[in-house]
Chains A and B, each alone.
Chain A
Amino acid sequence: EVQLVQSAAEVKKPGESLSISCKGSGYSFTNYWIGWVRQRPGKGLEWMGVIYPGDSDIRYSPSFQGQVTISADKSISSAYLQWSSLKASDTAMYYCAKSSLRSLHTAFNVWGQGTMVTVSS
């Protein structure tokens, strides 16, 4: 079964750093794109960016460029979303998702369960 399993919920203070993870299983991790999506409480879905673990090709949505870092470790089939200095406005649920095909321009058909990040002083 193809699965993405995300790391547990986090509670952090403003200014702290954070890395959350997304581990793929049941498929060839290096051959499909992994994307990240933000959903603030009670709000819609926002596309953050994608990574191709095979060669670490990364594409950020302009709204998130410079705000977060996307990376992957193909040796352990995991992708990461990192912040160097969290803000209260980063409070959200974060989802990872996998492309249905190897091409970037395909729908993402498998989603992780989400990681809730709460940033509060």
Chain B
Amino acid sequence: EIVLTQSPGTLSLSPGERATLSCRASQTVGGGSLAWFQQKPGQAPRLLISGASTRATGIPDRFRGSGSGTDFTLTISRLEPEDFAVYYCQQYGSSPRTFGQGTKVEIK
């Protein structure tokens, strides 16, 4: 099973700042099959990025995914108030698919 480790655990930033979230895999993620999800309190997760870098329908271009192999990054270029949430990475290239433990982006 591929273990995903996200860092940092919490990111304290102000609106307008840039957020950089990391997701490191214990083995190569096949086919770049890495997704990022956003979850706000009381809501279901929402798919942001699939295939490491492809934005899902309706996702603003301030969200950018990058990386390959074992190292992946989600960058939010300028934080909007609605972006403060928990972000999870997930690999789906190998069974079972697995999630990282999450990074909370909070208002500083």
A residues apposed to B, CB below 8 Å: 35, 37, 44-47, 49, 59-62, 95, 97, 100, 104-109, 111-114
Contact = CB atoms under 8 A, between A and B. Distances in A.
Interface of B: 1, 30-31, 33, 35, 37, 39, 44-47, 50-51, 56-57, 88, 90, 92-93, 95-102
Nearest to B39: A45
A113 B44 contact: yes
Contacts of B102: 44-45
Contact of A106 (B30, B45, B50): B50
Given A44-B99, A44-B102, A62-B96, A108 B44 contact: no
Contact of B93 (A45, A105, A111, A112): A105
A107 B50 CA distance: 6
A47 B96 contact: yes
A5 B57 CA distance: 20
A108 B1 contact: no
Nearest to B50: A107
Contact of B96 (A61, A100, A114): A61
B99 A45 contact: yes
Contacts of A113: 44
Contacts of A108: 35, 47, 92
Contact of B99 (A47, A49, A109): A47
Contacts of B31: 105
Nearest to A107: B50
B46 A111 contact: yes
A110 to B, nearest CB: 8
Given A44-B88, A45-B99, A61-B96, A109 B1 contact: no
B96 A109 contact: no
